[in-house]
Amino acid sequence: MEKYNEATIQRPNGHRVIDGLIVNIDLPILVEQIRKEKAWECSDRNAVTIFKSNRMRIVLIALHKGAQMLEHKTDDIISLQILDGQVQFNTIKQSAVLNKGQMITLHEGIPHSLLAIEETVFLLTLTPVAEGQRL
């Protein structure tokens, strides 16, 4: 029943459980790991999927100050939980500045964007919406 993430060139120690009855996730170790990877040095961001099933996905994302996630939308309900740093989260109708310890949720299909006001680490959780339950 367990599903594993295989090691890659970018993450040679990447072999870890990403789905199972219980998945133990050590966030401080993963944050340290993604901040040491080449993608963090060579890009304005780095990310790692830390849980993935057909009903939910959790991604740990680190952004350098000034990094942007340009406007996009998803078919999933999402939540962002700020672990460290500060971001500006925007939709067409609203904007919110989120600080460490804050969280925001958004229904599917709503265009949104993000700007890292300072170096930021956050958890992105995506939950698919069943076809008959979409807004």
Interval 24-59: pLDDT, tens: 999 999 999 999 999 999 999 999 999 999 999 999
CA 71 to chain centre: 15
pTM of the full structure: 0.88
Residue 15 has pLDDT above 70, yes or no: no
Read off the pLDDT of residues 66-125 as tens digits, 9 standing for 90 and up.
999 999 999 999 999 999 999 999 999 999 999 999 999 999 999 999 999 999 999 999
C-alpha atoms less than 13 angstroms from C-alpha of 49 in its C-beta half-sphere: 15
Q: Please report which confidence band the pLDDT of residue 17 belongs to, taking 50, 70 and 90 as the band edges.
A: confident
Q: Residue 7 — very low, low, confident or very high, per pLDDT cuts 50/70/90?
A: very low
**pLDDT exceeds cutoff 70 at 60:** yes
In the chain, where do the E strands start and end? 3-5, 16-19, 45-52, 57-63, 68-72, 76-84, 86-91, 95-99, 103-106, 112-116, 120-128
Domains of the chain, first to last: 3-130 (2.60.120.10)
pLDDT at 2: 57
pLDDT of 3 over the 80 cut: no
